[in-house]
Structure 1
């Protein structure tokens, strides 16, 4: 009975298209990509994700048939709500990543966006600052995941 349950579980997982988190099926033309522009941290995280997906990322644009240029990276913070004494109770962080992908004679530009919210604890400022830093890291991860999914769909 255990073997049957194990076999059925593995069959279900295999048939539903499950795969490791972060693995992207990039088109063949994206096996070698040069990455430029944007802040160093975002560029490094993108390069790391590309390399994780077996993409070669050369230092020079001349060595790559495809190029990704980060035109704009913005994270805006806005107040969502205030408490009864006028202190900010909740923030919303909106991230935007504007990218141009060039491959041979094909140039495509697109924007990916992500959004996160943060509860502001006015009594524990240090914890709120740490949580904000973690939230920004998660927002960056969301932006890059959306970018990778968008790259998968490029023909």
Structure 2
């Protein structure tokens, strides 16, 4: 019994030091993560922000605008009908670029990189409008032996990118709102 007590007493200060260092590292890590703007995906917008949110239609037709409106409706944000709009999201026209990644030995393009850039403006209540931009990148293979299906495949990839862009905008709204209210 005395041997166990001696071992416990000799290990105890270093164990305390170990736990102290461990908790310190955890708090430093949490501070670093929160300072870079990290937010959990499940974080929801406050109901006060949701009740008066309007997705503004750009001057010309935008497939991204329609996708964002549909995504927001699925998430429970209904279009504002009563006329009291205090928060707006204006979706700017998306831009799509293709960058060459590889070619076949014959010189025909084998693979592209689709670069899908999204710009939108948030205007919350009495605050100045803020512009936000993000980019989504996808690889796209261009097989010359299957030309007929490539247009359909490209349209499917673009629709997936629009869905991902709508989800990204929705997921970033709580962080944007917190950032604007913190100013």
Give the shorter-chain TM-score range.
0.7 to 0.9
Q: Which has the higher strand share?
A: 1
TM-score by length of 1: 0.76
Structure 1 moving runs of 4+ over 4 Å: none
Give yes or no for the alignment of 1:86 onto 2:111: no
Give distance in 2, aligned partners of 1:148 and 1:40.
17
Q: Match for 1:63 among 43, 59, 84?
A: 84
Give distance in 2, aligned partners of 1:24 and 1:88.
42
Which segment is superposed worse, 144-153 or 35-44?
35-44
Larger radius of gyration: 2
Count the aligned residue pairs. Answer: 133
Q: Which has the higher helix share?
A: 2
Matched with 2:12 is none
TM-score by length of 2: 0.65
Q: Identify unmatched segments of 5+ residues in structure 2.
A: 1-40, 179-183
Aligned ranges for residues 47-126 of structure 1 at < 5 Å? 47-58=69-80, 62-106=83-127, 107-126=129-148
Q: Deviations over 1:8-48 (max 9, x none)?
A: xxxxxxxxxxxxxx987223313321112444321111111
